[in-house]
Structure formats: structure tokens, C-alpha cells
Structure 1
């Protein structure tokens, strides 16, 4: 399968490498490929420059967002939440009819808050939208011809692509969306990653809960000293 991973951060890189291992053709999308390849300093998260990283994976091709989306049969969105709708809207013609697996969280970094939540790495980002709407729903409204499936929101993406790293893989992945065929396609990909327990939460409105869980996930991880973990739904 030809897969576009939109975003060059740690999450996008994790998916790109795993997809390559599984035999897919992988295109990573960025705003300007030449600018991305020309960076020589780590990003604000301390991640090494993309050009240095991708040199170890010659099978991964870096393209501009529109080129990557046009080249792919299946698209994974890892664009940061503040910019995702704008960027995806600009390449919407290349996403029509395709499954778009979205794992982005609508974080607003360094928010002005009366009662900020201090964390080991700075102030906890705020969520916008929250409760009354979700990023997943906004993307679907902006791209009515695409098939948006919210998934991979409740774990770090490194755990998403290697679920067996936590409890031998005995934890739960959640998905939501309006298109049954797209959810089946996402489920097949997740099973190829190693997921055994995939819970379909139903319509895309459920992505509100998935995105809002991000703060709870952070709180648990702080309590565990940064260790990776998973959530298991017992039924």
C-alpha cells in the first residue's frame, strides 16, 4: 500500500519506519521539503533534524504535503492540532475518497491561563476545541469527501506502532469515524502493527472523548515517572 504520513515529528517518524518494515511504500509530507531537509538543529522537542534521521531509512521519501497526499492510497495525519485543518483543507483535492487516519490532538502551547498546570517540561497545553467539538470532527467537516477515522490518540505513537512493548500488547486501541469501510481499513493496519484489542467507539463525535483523554494520559505518565503504559478496557 502507498501511505502518506503527514508530519515529520516523532510520531510521524514512528509510523513511517513501521510502515516501511511492513513493506509499504512510505511518503512523509512536510510544508517545504527543502527547508525540512536543510535544518541542522533539533526541534523544540529535542528531536534530531529530519535530514539526519531519514538518512538511515532510504526507503522513506520526503515530499511536500500535497505531493505526499496525491501519491498515497492511505493517509495518516500527524500535523499539529493548531495547523491541521488549515493544511489539510489546502490539499483536500488529494484526500477525496481516501481514508485519513488522524491521531492529532488540538493542543495550544504556552496558553495564557489563570491556573496553569506545571509539568516536567513546561506548562500543560490547552485543548481547543474541547468538549463541544473536536479536531477530528473539524477535519471531517473541512474535508467532506475524505473518510476521517480518529485513532491512535490514547498512546504515544511509538507504542501505537509497537503495542507489544506494553504488557505484551494486552491493551486497548480506540477508533471512531463515520465510514465503516475506512474504519475497517484502519483496523487492518492496526492489526498489522500488532493490536489485538481494537474498540470501535462509533461515530466521529467520540473523538471528543479521545482527544480530551490526553490530559489524563499525561497525568498517569507523570505518576509513572515517564514510563510507557496502555489502557485496557475490561469487559
Structure 2
């Protein structure tokens, strides 16, 4: 399958590398491929320049967002939450009829708050939208002909693509969406990553809980001293 991974950060790189290993044809999308390849300094998270990383994966192509989406059969959205809706709306014609697995979280960084939550790396980001809407739902409303499936937002993407790194894979990953065929496609991909427990939370409205869980995830990780972990739904 030809898969487009939109976004060149650590999460997108993790998916792209795993997909290549699994034998898929992989293209990554960015706002301006020449600018992305021209960077020589680590990003604000300390991640090495994309061009250096890409040199180790000659089977992966880099294109602008629209071109990447147009060529793909299946799309993974790893664009940061503040920009995802705008970018996906702009390239909507290339997403019509396709499954889009969305793991973006709508973080607002450095928010002005009366009672900020200090963390080891600064103030905890705020979420917008929250409670009565979700980024996943906003993307679906903006792209009615695409099939949005919210997934992979309850752990780091490096763990998503290597679930056995935690508890030998004995933990749960969640999906939600309004299109059963798209959820079957996403479930199949996650199973190919090694997931044994993929829990369908139902319609896309469940993305609200999935996105809001991000703060709980951070709190647990702080308590564990930064260690990777998973959660398991016990039946």
C-alpha cells in the first residue's frame, strides 16, 4: 500500500520508518520540502535535521503536503495540532475517499493561564478545542468526503509503532471514527505494528476523550520519571 505520512517530526518519522520496514511504499509530506531538507539544526525538541534522518531511509520520498496526499492510498496525519486543520483543509481534494488516521492533539503551547501547570519542560499546553468538540471532529467536518479515524493519541508514536517495547505489547490502543471500513483499515495497520488489543470506542465524538487524555498521560509519565508506558483495559 502507498501511505503518506504528513509531518516530519519524531512521530511521523517513527511511522514512516516502520511502514518502510513492513514493505509499504512511503511518502512523507511537509509544507515546503526544500526548506525541510535545507535545515541543518535540530528542531525545538532536539530532533536531528530531517535531511540527516532521511539519509538512513532511502526508500522514503519527501513531498509537499498536497502532492504526498494525492499520491497515497492511505494517509496518516502527524501535523501539529495547531496547524493540522488548516493544512488538511487546503489539501482536502486529495483526501476525498481516503482513510486518514489522525493522531494530532490540539495543543496550545505557552498558554496564558491563571493557574498554569508547571512541568519539567515548561507550562503544560492547553487544549483547544476541548470538552464540547475535538480536533478529529473538526477535521471530519472540514473534509466530509474523507474518512477520519482518530487513533494513536494515548502514547508516544515510537511506542505506537513498537508496542512490544512496553509490557511485551500487553496494553491497549484506541480508535474512533464514523466509517466502519476506515476503522477496519486502521485496525489492520495497527495489528501489523504488533498491537493485539485495539479497542474501538465507537463514533468520532469519542475523539474528545482521547485527546483530553493527553494531560493524564503526561501526569503518569512525570510520575514514572519519563519512562514509556501503556494502559490496559481489563475486561
Is the TM-score greater than 0.5? yes
Note the C-alpha offset of 1:207. Answer: 0.3
Pair 1:208-2:208 in alignment = yes
Match of 1:51 in 2: 51
Match of 1:132 in 2: 132
TM-score normalised by the chain length of structure 1? 1.00
* CA distance in structure 1 between the partners assigned to 2:41 and 2:68 by the alignment: 24
* CA distance in structure 2 between the partners assigned to 1:56 and 1:96 by the alignment: 32
Pair 1:78-2:83 in alignment = no
Could you give the per-residue CA deviations for residues 4-60 of structure 1, whole angstroms, max 9, x where no partner exists?
000000000000000000000000000000000000111111111000110010001
* CA distance in structure 1 between the partners assigned to 2:114 and 2:195 by the alignment: 40
Give runs of aligned pairs for residues 1-235 of structure 1, distance below 5 A: 1-235=1-235
Note the C-alpha offset of 1:175. Answer: 0.2
Note the C-alpha offset of 1:126. Answer: 0.4
* CA distance in structure 2 between the partners assigned to 1:103 and 1:210 by the alignment: 10
Note the C-alpha offset of 1:146. Answer: 0.1
* CA distance in structure 2 between the partners assigned to 1:109 and 1:58 by the alignment: 34
* CA distance in structure 2 between the partners assigned to 1:10 and 1:114 by the alignment: 31
**Moved segments of 4+, more than 2 Å:** none
RMSD: 0.4
Note the C-alpha offset of 1:110. Answer: 0.6
* CA distance in structure 2 between the partners assigned to 1:116 and 1:11 by the alignment: 26
TM-score normalised by the chain length of structure 2? 1.00
Gaps in structure 2 of 5+ consecutive residues: none
Could you give the per-residue CA deviations for residues 173-200 of structure 1, whole angstroms, max 9, x where no partner exists?
1000000000000000000000000100
- Aligned pairs, how many? 235
* CA distance in structure 2 between the partners assigned to 1:13 and 1:77 by the alignment: 12
Gaps in structure 1 of 5+ consecutive residues: none
* CA distance in structure 1 between the partners assigned to 2:91 and 2:165 by the alignment: 35
SS of 1:59's partner is coil
* CA distance in structure 1 between the partners assigned to 2:202 and 2:146 by the alignment: 17
